[in-house]
């Protein structure tokens, strides 16, 4: 099942399928679409998995093995790719809290987010080649944007699985957090992103023109939130 939690402008989507290591089935895809319809005006979004063994272990092979034609395989790929696209296009920051291993389709789900926060003992890898297939949900392209074309081909072409520290070194993971405090730390970071103008920053980073970037800054400058914060800073003793 897919769960949705709301926390003061922060929406948290959890894939909770412990019997399948949080693998994504066709029903899970439908639930993800429904949940994304309900995130409303959240200012930031977290995607994570239940437990501490798997973030998402990929597609649910027991179910997806029933897809035996090119048309069936293509339809499934398009459906899940559209969900990953919805995550990537969410107007606010999207954080993947990697509570456990992110393998195959799970790694693709993770790179649809803007930011990946990983528990120190997780592993991540685009290992679809071990099944003689390739990433189908947009993950290859997003991996290349993160780590470069050559490194993306090396990783996805060999199926190499990285530990959290190695993934952080190449920019696949943005921060590695201690396992004992993982939940508290990713929530604290996500709340910060939800309570500040990170959505405007995301829009500028995504490719705003210089004029659009200046306009975004100017609108924030004249906002009540800016002047309230500035007043607090100016009142601090020096």
- The answer to the question of residue 166 being in a domain is yes
**Residue 136 and residue 40 share a domain:** yes
**Residue 215 and residue 186 share a domain:** no
Q: Is the predicted pLDDT of residue 84 greater than 90, yes or no?
A: yes
pLDDT at 234: 81
Query: pLDDT for 94-142, tens place per residue?
Result: 999 999 999 999 999 999 999 999 999 999 999 999 999 999 999 999 9
- The answer to the question of residue 77 being in a domain is yes
| Alpha carbons 81 and 112: distance in angstroms, whole number | 9
Query: pLDDT for 221-237, tens place per residue?
Result: 999 999 988 888 887 77
Are the C-beta atoms of residues 67 and 76 closer than 8 Å to each other?
A: yes
Please give the tally of structural domains in the chain: 2
CATH of the domain at 148: 3.90.226.10
Reported as a pLDDT band with limits 50, 70 and 90, residue 204 is very high
* Buried/exposed 32-54: b ≥16 CB within 10 Å, e otherwise: beebbeebeebbbbbbbbbeeeb
**Residue 223 and residue 143 share a domain:** no
- The answer to the question of residue 164 being in a domain is yes
* 54-56, strands of its sheet edge to edge: 54-56, 101-103, 123-125, 161-163
**Residue 52 and residue 96 share a domain:** yes
pLDDT at 67: 86
Are the C-beta atoms of residues 103 and 125 closer than 8 Å to each other?
A: yes
Q: Is the predicted pLDDT of residue 238 greater than 80, yes or no?
A: no
**Residue 85 and residue 159 share a domain:** yes
- The answer to the question of residue 112 being in a domain is yes
What is the maximum alpha-carbon separation in the chain? 70
pLDDT at 210: 94
Query: pLDDT for 10-65, tens place per residue?
Result: 999 999 999 999 999 999 999 999 999 999 889 999 999 999 999 999 998 888 88
- The answer to the question of residue 201 being in a domain is no
- The answer to the question of residue 50 being in a domain is yes
Average model confidence (pLDDT) across the chain: 95
pLDDT at 40: 82
**Residue 220 and residue 164 share a domain:** no
Q: At what angle do helices 198-205 and 210-221 cross, to 10 degrees?
A: 170
**Residue 222 and residue 112 share a domain:** no
- The answer to the question of residue 216 being in a domain is yes
| Alpha carbons 181 and 185: distance in angstroms, whole number | 6
pTM here is: 0.94
| Strands, E assignment, 50-149 | 54-56, 94-98, 101-103, 115-119, 123-125
**Residue 212 and residue 143 share a domain:** no
**Residue 170 and residue 73 share a domain:** yes
**Residue 216 and residue 107 share a domain:** no
Reported as a pLDDT band with limits 50, 70 and 90, residue 90 is very high
**Residue 212 and residue 135 share a domain:** no
Mean pLDDT value of segment 179-188: 98
Reported as a pLDDT band with limits 50, 70 and 90, residue 6 is very high
Burial class (CB in 10 A: 0-12, 13-18, 19+), 89: exposed
- What is the residue range of 226's domain? 208-234
**Residue 212 and residue 102 share a domain:** no
Are the C-beta atoms of residues 62 and 110 closer than 8 Å to each other?
A: no
- The answer to the question of residue 200 being in a domain is no
């Amino acid at each position: 099942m897919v769960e949705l939690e709301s926390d003061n402008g922060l929406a948290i989507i959890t894939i909770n399928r412990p019997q399948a290591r949080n693998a994504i089935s066709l029903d899970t895809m439908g639930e993800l679409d429904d949940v994304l319809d309900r995130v409303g005006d959240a200012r930031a979004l977290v995607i994570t998995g239940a437990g501490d063994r798997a973030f998402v272990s990929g597609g649910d092979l027991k179910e997806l093995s029933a897809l035996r034609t090119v048309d069936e395989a293509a339809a499934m790929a398009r459906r899940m790719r559209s969900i990953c696209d919805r995550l990537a296009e969410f107007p606010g920051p999207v954080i993947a809290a990697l509570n456990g291993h992110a393998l195959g389709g799970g790694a693709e789900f993770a790179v649809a987010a803007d930011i990946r926060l990983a528990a120190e003992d997780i592993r991540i890898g685009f290992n679809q080649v071990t099944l003689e297939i390739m990433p189908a949900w947009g993950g290859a392209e997003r991996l290349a944007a993160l780590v470069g074309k050559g490194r993306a081909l090396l990783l996805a072409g060999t199926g190499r699985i990285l530990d959290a520290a190695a993934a952080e070194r190449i920019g696949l993971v943005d921060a590695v957090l201690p396992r004992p405090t993982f939940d508290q730390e990713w929530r604290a970071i996500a709340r910060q992103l939800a309570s500040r103008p990170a959505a405007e920053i995301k829009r500028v980073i995504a490719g705003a023109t210089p004029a659009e970037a200046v306009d975004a800054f100017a609108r924030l400058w004249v906002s009540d939130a800016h002047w309230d914060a500035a007043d607090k800073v100016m009142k601090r003793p020096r």
